[in-house]
Amino acid sequence: MTVVTSATVTDLQAALVRGERVVDVREKHEYERGHVPNAVHIPMSVVPLRIQDITSERKGEPVWIICESGARSWQVSDYLTREGVSVINVEGGTAAWKASGLPVHSA
């Protein structure tokens, strides 16, 4: 059994200030309605095909995975962890990000 590392939106906010990477695994219409600034959009359905696009450009640095509530991102994080990718699941997802009053971008 894999152990998925999770963190809060406040932790993600600090990670973004450090220049770390976040991948949004929601569907296109969800992403376009509002997403974390600088989030890379890779829908959950294509994650297995795009692992190389997800891995961090900075070796040893985890990639943050976000969805709307944290459920899909947990599934993706579990899969990527089993594939050897260092990831952090964002608890509460984009809904928690928005509820915290953090900025969102629309596509």
* Catalytic option among 4, 39, 63, 67: 67
The answer to whether residue 24 is catalytic is no
Q: For the range 73-79, what are the long-range contacts, defined as Cβ-Cβ under 8 Å and sequence gap of 24 or more?
A: 73/25, 74/4, 74/6, 75/44, 76/25, 76/44, 76/47, 77/4, 77/5, 77/6, 78/2, 78/4, 79/47, 79/48
Catalytic residues: 67
